[in-house]
Amino acid sequence: MKNFKQINEDISFDDWDEIDNPGPVQTEFQKITEKALTRRNFLKSSAAFSAAAFLFGTTTLTPTDAKASSIMFDPVAANTFDDITLPKGFSSQVVVSWGDPMWTKGKDFDHSTRGTAASQELAYGDNNDGMSLFTKNGKHVLAVNNEYTNRGIIYGARDSKLPENEDDVNKGKAAHGVSIIEISENNGQWRIIKDSYYNRRITADTEMEITGPARGHDLLKTKADPTGTKSLGTWNNCGNGRTPWGTYLACEENFNGYFSSSNKDFKRTSNMKRYGIKNKDWGYAWASVDERFDISKHQNEPNRSGYIVEIDPFNPNSTPKKRTALGRFKHENAEVTISKTGHIVVYLGDDERGEFLYRFVSKNKYDPIRDNSNLLEDGSLYVAKFNDDGSGQWLELNPTTTGISSQAEVCVNTRVGASTVGATTMDRPEWVASNPTKVEVYCALTNNKNRGKKSNAGGDNTPVNGPNPRQGNKFGQIVRWIPDNEDHTAKTFKWDLYVVAGNPDVHTGLDAGSSNIKSDNMFNSPDGIAFDKAGNFWIQTDGNYSNKKDFYGMGNNQMLLGDTRSGEIKRFLVGPNECEVTGITWSDDGKTMFVGIQHPGEKGNSHWPAGGKSVPRSSIVAIKRNDGNKIGENIYS
């Protein structure tokens, strides 16, 4: 079947996007260069990257060797072991792996065939990413995103390493979405409870309800759904969120890579171009078995993905809700906070080079004794503008500010609206994390090889700027901001950079990183970030693991702990070969930390977790302290 074997290069997700979605060629080059130089002088004249830190009156980026460490464990050395490495005094176990059956009628994962569509429909999905553990009435229910699949792994039993028939494609569709599993702890080991009432697979075919301003708009209507209110499935869910009312948020990221056109001459709309939807998909071949993924036949189908999806983890019969009020873009996670005014504020990143950082503010207020289940249906959407003097503004996106004819269309063409109002282009906003002990928010800006070189897909120039201080940014940084008046709904904020990643062993200057980066804690491409209840700041990486050249000495992808007061960062975990460390949640008692290991062996060089000649499988591990104490307790001196 020819069209199942479209593309055979083993290239990363990121590279796909670059091939699919190259921005327009450089424009106004002179202007970009001039601005970059001005910014460099600005940075030089301030203390490292902490210009705005003066405004905060903090000593954030004080060199960490100037004083004793505040973090109690001994750091893990960078390494390239095909295993999980933790500090002395901590241990881990695998809880669940791709393909594990969730019901007794399912079959154990078959390493020789790597499963079928039928076995996958009854099994935990692939490439776990964001997750949350919900505990109620003694039941522990874990909701986990299954972001995507690696063809070389899921179809590794095929000679072509590609989907070769309809069942293969359907297996791929079933491996996407969200897995909801009940887990329990016995003798210190966490396991899935097979056949639990709560166990549920949400896949690319599960019915969803479209809510909010875009519900029922013409742009969302299709032949199968002329009302524009019901769509099928969710896929490429990256980071996640959880609400104070106990629901799970799955965040649709690179939804574009699943669409293709049977008519190679099909002329894409400007919206399709802005979102990277092309006549060729990224090799998943979904349109070959499910016509709605053929954009020449169903032009509105892509408008029904790219949203935040709200799911009730305790009701397996509930219909997931697509929340269009939170905008349509390549969502990373959804960090939910309650402002001091009582409004729900959700921070949202759009992970693409030169795209933006957003905020949603609910129209209605949270009330713990009332039904809050529709707070994400109605509210205001904003995009961030960062000024080089350490100040910033949230710019509202509505028909008046954007010139777009309705709020429904603002919610579908959100990127276009953000470009119109002059938001700050960012170095791929990944996860956002809000400090539970302080009104303060962080965002991982993972890297951006186009910074200062190429505009984004909307034609916005991407000159070097305050929070994105390096041209062709290879290593990434974490920006943080404090809302004015300690109010998450305030329209203004102050920002600084918590860390600028780099390699001080290889580089001097900007690429050596900020002063809290040393030989023993260097990393690249921060991605997952989250605070535990005690205010410990955890950083996960999805970066270059070659351990060569610019990245020499960094080893495999890793997880670090940050002290947000002193700026100190220590390496806590190193993952197995060719993995990304992503996804984090805690047991209610704080004694177990669950961490996701995604795509070990994505280039064919891992047998984690089972070892020997086994198939590498994305898995969740449970990490505990050997002394039985809470993970984050007394972790600082």
Pick one of Ca ion, ligand FEO, none as the site partner of residue 18 (Cβ within 5 to 8 A by kind): none
Longest dimension (CA), the chain: 66
Residue in 54, 33, 51 with CA at minimum distance from that of residue 42: 51
Residue number, 86 or 579, with CB nearest to ligand FEO = 579
Distances (CA, A) of 547 to 524, 552, 582: 11, 4, 19
Residue 56 structure tokens: 């905060």
Residue 286 structure tokens: 């979904």
Residue number, 235 or 551, with CB nearest to ligand FEO = 235
For 515-617, where are the E strands, in sequence order? 526-531, 537-541, 558-562, 569-574, 580-586, 592-598
Shortest Cβ 234–ligand FEO spacing (Å)? 14
Residue 542 binds Ca ion (CB under 5 A): yes
Residue 126 binds ligand FEO (CB under 6 A): no
Q: Please give the size of the binding site for Ca ion, defined by CB under 5 A.
A: 4
Residue type, 236: N
Other Cβ atoms less than 10 A from the Cβ of 509: the count is 10
Residue 602 binds ligand FEO (CB under 6 A): no
Residue number, 357 or 404, with CB nearest to ligand FEO = 357
Shortest Cβ 383–ligand FEO spacing (Å)? 18
Contact 312, 318 (CB under 8 A): yes
| Interaction mask 209-248, ligand FEO, x per CB under 6 A | -----------------------------x----------
First to last CA, the chain: 62
Shortest Cβ 162–ligand FEO spacing (Å)? 22
Contact 98, 105 (CB under 8 A): no
| Interaction mask 235-254, Ca ion, x per CB under 5 A | ---x----------------
Q: Please give the size of the binding site for ligand FEO, defined by CB under 6 A.
A: 6
Shortest Cβ 50–ligand FEO spacing (Å)? 27
Characterize the bridge pairing of strands 139-146 and 177-186: antiparallel
Residue in 570, 587, 583 with CA at minimum distance from that of residue 625: 587
Residue in 414, 415, 411 with CA at minimum distance from that of residue 215: 411
Residue number, 251 or 272, with CB nearest to ligand FEO = 251
Pick one of ligand FEO, Ca ion, none as the site partner of residue 312 (Cβ within 5 to 8 A by kind): none
Contact 253, 351 (CB under 8 A): yes
- Closest residue (Cβ) to Ca ion? 542
The whole-angstrom distance between residue 50's C-alpha and the CA centroid of its chain comes to: 26
- Reduced to 3 states (helix: H, G, I; strand: E, B; else coil), residue 480 is strand
Residue 351 binds ligand FEO (CB under 6 A): yes
Q: How far apart are CA 287 and CA 535, in angstroms?
A: 45
Rule CB under 5 A: choose which of 301, 310, 496, 527 binds Ca ion: 527
Residue 460 structure tokens: 């916005």
Q: How far apart are CA 381 and CA 361, in angstroms?
A: 7
Residues 606-635, interacting with ligand FEO (CB under 6 A):
none
Non-local (6+) Cβ contacts of 21 within 8 A are 256, 276, 278, 352, 457
Residue 335 binds Ca ion (CB under 5 A): no
Question: Segment near Ca ion (CB under 5 A), from 256-264, 409-417, 451-459, 538-546?
Answer: 538-546
Residue 253 binds ligand FEO (CB under 6 A): yes
Question: Segment near Ca ion (CB under 5 A), from 70-78, 233-241, 318-326, 457-465?
Answer: 233-241
Shortest Cβ 147–ligand FEO spacing (Å)? 6
Shortest Cβ 327–ligand FEO spacing (Å)? 16
Residue number, 312 or 355, with CB nearest to Ca ion = 355
Instruction: State residue 316 phi and psi, 5-degree precision.
Output: -65, -10
Q: How far apart are CA 76 and CA 80, in angstroms?
A: 12
Residues 402-431, interacting with ligand FEO (CB under 6 A):
430
Residue number, 242 or 292, with CB nearest to ligand FEO = 242
Shortest Cβ 175–Ca ion spacing (Å)? 18
Residues 151-180, interacting with ligand FEO (CB under 6 A):
none
Pick one of ligand FEO, Ca ion, none as the site partner of residue 290 (Cβ within 5 to 8 A by kind): none
Q: How far apart are CA 307 and CA 377, in angstroms?
A: 12
Pick one of ligand FEO, Ca ion, none as the site partner of residue 253 (Cβ within 5 to 8 A by kind): ligand FEO
Other Cβ atoms less than 10 A from the Cβ of 604: the count is 14
Residue 335 binds ligand FEO (CB under 6 A): no
Residues near ligand FEO, by CB under 6 A: 147, 238, 253, 332, 351, 430
Q: Where on the chain is the footprint of Ca ion (CB under 5 A)? A: 238, 430, 527, 542
